[in-house]
Amino acid sequence: MKFLTLKRKLANRLWGEFVSFTRTKSYYQKIYSAYWHYRFSSRNQVSDHLNYYAATPNRGAGIGHQMANWIAGYWFARQFGLQFAHTTFASEKWEQFLGFGVDETSVEDLIKQGYKKVKLPLFDEFNAAEIALNKSIIASYGNQRVVFVAEQDQGYQDQFGVMGDLQRKFNNAPARKSDALIYAKENFNIAIHVRRGDIVIGQANKNPNLLMRWQDNSYFEQVLATVVSGLKQEKPIAIYLFSQGESSEFVMFEKFENLHFCLAMGAQDSFLHMVNADLLISSKSSFSYKPALLSKGLKVAPRNFWHGYPKTKDWILVEDNGLFDTTQLNTKQ
């Protein structure tokens, strides 16, 4: 079993490198057998059933990245007129915590029922020709029972497109029965996520992928100060700072009253508290962007980010210099 797992991991890694190498080539789509099926089959096969679409959470990535993969599958299933098929997250603990797979048909069950798994090529969601090709490939399988699987890390920028469903799934998950929060209900609870960890290393080795995610403590200090001074709250304000490292690395925040450092809190508990904060100050990180999608509170988020935001009153966007429209802090949602 261990040998088969290692063999599968190696095969996936080699395939991923091949996809990366060919993605910008004119022949990229031709490396998929699904493309050749479309080319040599009768077009637009008549179907008396619905086929499925799924996206596999990247097993080697963090939970925010994995959720982005899953959300892309959920979104594009709708866009292609297919049923959604669930693929589990890498960790069973996160699978149960999020509860996204509850009441969803799994890819594994579909395969047992005789469905054929067909991988689709990556497409640029803003490229009409690439989208049209994927639709044509899907149509060519109309007379077969198929679960289409997105290529790894299929992009979907505006992840908020299925936000309502995500909130419903998360709030109704069985795991919510055992949630335990340290917030006091009599307070207005502010959560602030200061991303550190891997991006600290990125500053030293000049990794461009990590450099783009860096935000100085001064940015968060200014945003938090503006939030605290701009809020018109009858409740006392309590602040919870979620990050990694030692409290000595965040001494500039000690001037804020009722501040609580949450530097040793586990990933799931941190995620849960960000979801349930009355106001969440997120960072350039999927780990706080995803709780923001699930949150019913105010979200104060960096405008310059690789995912989109809904244009609603509960989302307040901050410029890179830490400035934002403070009138939104007290606008009724």
Give the model confidence (pLDDT) of 272-326 as tens digits: 999 999 999 999 998 999 999 999 999 999 999 889 999 999 999 999 899 999 9
Residues 120 and 89 in one domain: yes
Q: Do residues 36 and 173 share a domain?
A: yes
Query: Which of 123, 157, 177 is a domain's end point?
Result: 177
Question: What is the domain count for the chain?
Answer: 2
Nearest to 169 by CA among 265, 95, 90: 95
Task: Examine residue 4 and state whether it is found in any structural domain, yes or no.
Answer: no
Percentage of the chain surpassing pLDDT 90?
Answer: 77
Same domain, 256 and 298: yes
Integer CA distances (angstroms), 173 to 34, 97, 159, 160, 303, in order: 36, 7, 20, 19, 31
Smallest CA-to-CA distance from 302 within 292, 312, 294 is with 292
* Last-in-domain residue among 133, 161, 177: 177
Query: Consecutive sets of 10 residues in the chain, 333 residues long: mean pLDDT of each?
Result: 68 92 97 96 70 96 96 98 97 98 97 97 97 95 95 96 98 97 97 70 47 68 95 94 87 93 95 98 93 97 93 94 90 63
How many residues are listed for the chain in this entry? 333
CATH of the domain at 193: 3.40.50.2000
What integer pLDDT is reported at residue 136 of this predicted model? 94
Residue 190 falls within a domain, yes or no? yes
Looking at the structure, tell me whether residues 259 and 173 fall in a common domain: no
What token pair was written down for 202?
Answer: 């990125």
Q: How far is CA 186 from CA 183, 232, 279, 281, 289, in A?
A: 9, 15, 14, 20, 26
Is residue 191 domain-shared with residue 314, that is, in the same domain? yes
pLDDT in tens, 188-200: 999 999 965 554 4
Both tokens assigned to 16: 């991923």
In this structure, the answer to whether residues 145 and 162 fall within a common structural domain is: yes
The helix (H) or strand (E) run that includes residue 167 is: helix 163-172
Q: State which residues form the domain around 213.
A: 180-330
Separation of alpha carbons 107 and 112, rounded Å: 9
Q: In this structure, are residues 55 and 76 in contact, taking their beta carbons and an 8 Å threshold?
A: yes
Clarify whether residues 27 and 80 are in a common domain: yes
Which pLDDT does position 333 carry in this prediction? Answer: 56
Whether residues 166 and 20 fall in one domain: yes
Q: Residue 329 and residue 301: Cα distance in Å, rounded?
A: 12
Contact 332, 298 (CB under 8 A): no
Which of 144, 161, 177 is where one domain is finished? Answer: 177
Q: What integer pLDDT is reported at residue 234 of this predicted model?
A: 87
What is the pLDDT at residue 203? 43
Q: Which amino acid is at 209?
A: N
Residue 52 CA to residue 138 CA, distance in Å, equals: 10
Computed on alpha carbons and rounded to an integer, the radius of gyration of the chain in Å comes to 22
Residue 5 is assigned to a structural domain of this protein? no
Q: Buried b / exposed e across 305-321, counting CB within 10 Å, b at 16+?
A: bebebeeeebbbbbeee
- Domain-located, residue 1: no
